[in-house]
């Protein structure tokens, strides 16, 4: 008999199927607000430098449609919005000490609208910022799809499944993050009317936990932006807007001037920590690639979650401290499952190149997971054996010195000879742009610590066949 469940529930039985609902989500989840009406012209210190905006088109899509009745008039809520049912409202993002947004009363020319943009963008950035973002689309919230989790026929597999059930992100957690994204998008459009805000990363890729932070990507155009100049200037304005208008609802907004700058903040309503970047387009694409892998085979998500918890417990899951990012860890798990003698996962980029092409327009990226059916593997290994195999693979089999992990190719490939790959201890290929997602591991001491933990954990788990020997379950569940 198995010991009492770590969750206080009866243990799993071989014939008891566990189910988990998930939503096929899009960047616009529930529904997008319509674009802020084009009548808004924002005043700054130099009203003489107004920028003329043309109607945007995107491929064969018609120009951006603007509403005939604005969502806002100054700071007042429209009567229609006041009459919404109470359970459909969320407290609005307006600080009691906010600075009002001032409408620029320049008379628009016939057939076009005029905006005066923030001074930072007068000289270099205005033409790029205001073009190239596709029009907003109403994408329906799709019905939940039922996923049957694998059976737990042994103690170790049972522990992994129970940990997964206790810690996986709930639909209610995701709704809180999406509600915050919707409100923030509406606020940011007061500064950049054509922008879009995407929820990305673990919150949406299927590998989130109850404690996962929210990652947001602000898209101002579909071309790359200079992260040292453009992105920092954009985030400076967003940070100021958060501090002045939203201080009652956003806590501790910080502008982090890193290689990829971000604004960090905490939403007081949902109590979720967020990181907001600008135009990290590849992050949107890989979110939906990983989401496809997450639901391709029912052993993938429980295995990824326990490995992330294990790595975090042993302090090898923090890129800011020179160890592995969660993204790199997920790619390492997928790679392992692709390289088994009887693979559990294929390369979906090879099988469905048209669905995961880097050239796909952003407003279509969310459709990719819907086009890929579940993968039927002949490999019947249980979760416990797969966890042991993962630890053994990276402890004794993978050649760190000469090989690179490639989920795109579904195999280990020779390291490239480029400068980015030289003197790097761990090489994990980003599936879309080919960069090294594990470049943060740049000290030999940290690399040795990571390898040592793989080896020690493999030996312990092989001898004990008890997850507590490498990851205290009670502590892991409490942290969620």
pLDDT digits (tens, 9 = 90+) for 65-114: 333 333 333 333 344 443 444 333 333 333 334 434 333 332 232 333 33
Measured distance CA(26)–CA(138) in Å, rounded: 10
Q: What is the pLDDT of residues 7-53, one digit of tens each?
A: 444 444 444 344 443 333 333 333 333 333 333 333 333 323 333 33
Instruction: Give Rg (Cα) of the chain.
Output: 24
Q: In the structure, what pLDDT confidence band is assigned to residue 222 with cuts at 50, 70 and 90?
A: confident
Q: At what angle do helices 383-392 and 326-338 cross, to 10 degrees?
A: 100
How many CA within 13 A on the CB side of residue 351? 17
- Higher pLDDT residue, 265 or 26? 265
- Mention every residue, 6+ apart, whose C-beta is less than 8 A from residue 271: none
Check if the beta carbon of residue 182 is closer than 8 Å to that of residue 33: yes
Measured distance CA(19)–CA(24) in Å, rounded: 16
pLDDT at 416 over 80: yes
What sign does the dihedral 238-241-243-246 (CA atoms) show? negative
Check if the beta carbon of residue 138 is closer than 8 Å to that of residue 32: yes
Q: Which domains does the chain have, with CATH numbers?
A: 155-478 (1.10.1410.10)
Ranges of beta strands (E only) in 388-432 are 403-406, 411-414
Burial environment of residue 28 by CB neighbours within 10 A (0 to 12, 13 to 18, 19 or more): buried
């Amino acid at each position: 008999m198995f010991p009492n469940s770590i969750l206080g529930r009866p243990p799993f039985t071989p014939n008891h199927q566990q189910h988990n609902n998930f939503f096929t989500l899009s960047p616009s989840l529930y529904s997008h607000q319509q674009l802020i009406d084009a009548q808004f012209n924002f005043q700054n210190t130099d009203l003489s430098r107004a920028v003329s905006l043309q109607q945007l088109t995107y491929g064969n899509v018609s120009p951006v449609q603007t509403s005939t009745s604005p969502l806002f008039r100054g700071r007042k809520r429209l009567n229609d919005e006041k009459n919404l049912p109470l359970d459909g409202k969320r407290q609005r993002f307006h600080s009691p000490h906010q600075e009002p947004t001032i409408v620029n009363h320049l008379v628009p020319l016939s057939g076009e609208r005029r905006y005066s943009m923030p001074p930072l963008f007068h000289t270099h950035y205005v033409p790029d910022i205001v073009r190239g973002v596709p029009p907003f689309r109403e994408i329906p919230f799709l019905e939940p799809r039922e996923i049957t989790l694998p059976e737990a026929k042994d103690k170790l597999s049972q522990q992994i499944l129970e940990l997964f059930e206790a810690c996986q992100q709930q639909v209610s957690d995701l709704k809180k993050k999406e509600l915050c994204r919707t409100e923030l998008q509406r606020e940011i459009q007061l500064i950049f009317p054509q922008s879009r805000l995407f929820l990305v990363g673990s919150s949406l890729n299927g590998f989130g936990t109850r404690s996962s932070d929210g990652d947001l990507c602000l898209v101002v155009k579909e071309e790359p932006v200079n992260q040292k100049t453009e992105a920092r200037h954009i985030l400076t304005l967003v940070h100021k807007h958060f501090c002045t208008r939203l201080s009652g609802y956003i806590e501790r907004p910080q502008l982090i001037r890193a290689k990829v700058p971000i604004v960090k903040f905490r939403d007081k309503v949902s109590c979720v920590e967020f990181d907001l970047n600008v135009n990290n387009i590849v992050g949107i694409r890989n979110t939906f690639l990983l989401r496809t892998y997450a639901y391709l085979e029912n052993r993938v998500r429980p295995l990824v979650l326990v490995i992330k918890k294990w790595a975090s417990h042993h302090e090898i899951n923090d890129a800011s401290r020179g160890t592995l990012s969660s993204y790199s860890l997920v790619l390492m798990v997928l790679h392992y499952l692709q390289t088994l003698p009887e693979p559990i996962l294929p390369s979906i980029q090879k099988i469905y190149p048209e669905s995961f092409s880097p050239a796909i327009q952003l407003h279509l990226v969310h459709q990719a997971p819907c086009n890929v059916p579940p993968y039927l593997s002949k490999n019947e290994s249980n979760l416990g054996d797969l966890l042991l195999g993962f630890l053994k693979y990276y402890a004794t089999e993978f050649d760190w010195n000469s090989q690179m992990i490639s989920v795109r190719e579904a195999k280990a490939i020779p390291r490239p000879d480029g400068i980015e790959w030289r003197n790097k201890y761990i090489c994990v290929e980003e599936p879309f742009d080919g960069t090294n997602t594990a470049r943060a591991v740049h000290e030999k001491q940290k690399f040795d610590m990571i390898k040592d933990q793989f080896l020690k954990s493999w030996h312990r788990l092989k001898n004990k066949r008890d997850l507590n020997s490498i990851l205290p379950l009670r502590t892991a569940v409490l942290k969620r």
